[in-house]
Structure 1
Amino acid sequence: METDIDGGAVTLVAELAGIAVFAASGASAAVGKRLDLFGVVVIGALCALGGGALRDVLIDAKPLALTDWRYPLVAVVASLVVFRFHPALSRIRPTMLVLDAAGLALFTVIGTLKGLDYGFAVYAACIVGVLSGIGGGILRDMLVQEIPAVLKEDFYAMAAVVGSIIVAVGARWESQIGHWTLMLTAIATIFVVRLVAIRYRWEAPKPNF
């Protein structure tokens, strides 16, 4: 059985990893729009920190980006790395999609766990997790003048919903299955569902014109 300290360390590592990949996703989108260094860093940081800030507002907690220097630092560093070492322009979109799927998975799982930690009902914790996962992507797409993926790709939010349910239900047996196992299972599920949906272009019915 894992201790609370172990669980806290796992959550911290996962959250910083989520910030890094979402910052890279936002920075990649900004590079694709040919923004300058400042624009790349701003969009990368806002994309990375936006979902977590929304989550913290929902659970009535102080945004960690304003109370822990590691969060904005990781976001800025990841954005700078993408700016300096970004791949050829033709490869930016595929890379951004993979990074976005990873960020979606990490933030959804962390948000759901935090909702449960704050005593939210299962359905409410899932809502917090999903909004935490999709918040950064929505902000990124709006800033680069794209239609948010969640509004045009049904399996963006659906992947987050599936993962949040796994976390909320599995949390009842966390002491038996382990904190890492629960997190990694949910993260992998969201990530794989999202990438498979992209690969095979899964989508909900759209109006005929």
Structure 2
Amino acid sequence: MLHDLFNPSVQHALDLVGIFVFAISGALLAVRKNFDVFGMAVLAEVTALGGGLFRDLVIGAVPPAAFTDLGYFLMPLVATALVFFLHPEVERTQTAVNVFDAAGLGLFCVTGTTKAYDYGLGLTSSAVLGMATGVGGGVLRDILAVEAPSLLRWDRDLYAVPAIVGATIVVLSIRFDVLNAYTSGIAVLTAFVLRLLAMRYHWRAPRAWNRRSSTRETEKATAQ
């Protein structure tokens, strides 16, 4: 089904673009953490390929695409080299990087959902795994960098929600037998636009109702 939606060469090019921008975000975090070049490369690889690797292992698509396509492995190294030599300039283009990252999120949640369904998962499981494809690399990146994953932090703009919305559009299209390049494009665009709006207007998920503790109180308790 996946190969019926997009020309393979177009699909491959889109994958590489998504991998590249995800890798940029991983390498930039490594710079902020004062990691050496090896640490930068590790975070770049994990951020770019972690979600797809997790998906492929879950659905039994082995060896995973990350290990069978040399381009998938080399693209994060290209991103690492770019950040290593030009990280001040890359930092100044962070807005553009965020836009491409949002596009990669939209693309990966859709292709991840479709691939999971191709391998026999149900609609709900496919949507969940599609979301994991889009956000999984970022979670692994933050864990390796000894940070609370951005996905779980209330003070970060919505990230998983756009991915699950995009994945849901895909499974609904499958359910009603209307999945094609156009509906897939709508799913990608919806996730992309939602992520951009979340960044623009700082949309965040609600916290527990009638919370008694504040962030400051929590920090004091942790310090004690």
Segments of 5+ residues of structure 1 without an aligned counterpart are none
Shift of 1:8: 3.3
Q: Is the 8 A contact 2:157 2:202 kept in 1?
A: no
Say which structure is richer in helix: 1
**Structure-2 residue corresponding to 1:161:** 164
Say what the alpha-carbon RMSD is for the aligned residues.
Answer: 2.5
Between the aligned residues of both structures, percent identity stands at 43
In structure 1, distance between residues paired with 2:29 and 2:96? 10
- Provide the secondary structure at the position in 1 that maps to 2:21: helix
Summarize the Cα distance change of 1:123–1:7 in structure 2 as closer, same or farther, 3 Å threshold: farther
Bigger radius of gyration among the two: 2
In structure 2, distance between residues paired with 1:108 and 1:13? 16
Correspondences of 1:136-155 after superposition (within 5 Å): 136-152=137-153, 153=156, 155=158
Shift of 1:89: 8.1
The answer to whether the aligner puts 1:56 opposite 2:56 as a matched pair is yes
Stretch of structure 1 that moved more, 8-17 or 138-147: 8-17
Shift of 1:162: 0.4
What TM-score do the two structures reach when normalised by structure 1? 0.85
Q: Is the 8 A contact 1:150 1:156 kept in 2?
A: yes
- Provide the secondary structure at the position in 2 that maps to 1:47: helix
One-letter amino acid of the counterpart of residue 60, structure 2:
D
One-letter amino acid of the counterpart of residue 9, structure 1:
S
Shift of 1:138: 0.3
In structure 1, distance between residues paired with 2:40 and 2:80? 7
One-letter amino acid of the counterpart of residue 137, structure 2:
G
Q: Is the 8 A contact 2:18 2:100 kept in 1?
A: no
Segments of 5+ residues of structure 2 without an aligned counterpart are 214-224
**Structure-1 residue corresponding to 2:8:** 8
- 1:117-173 Cα deviation digits (max 9, x unpaired): 223221111011011111001011122222211111472111111000112223422
- 1:69-116 Cα deviation digits (max 9, x unpaired): 121011211222222222358647655544442332222111011012
- Provide the secondary structure at the position in 1 that maps to 2:158: helix
One-letter amino acid of the counterpart of residue 14, structure 2:
A
One-letter amino acid of the counterpart of residue 35, structure 2:
L
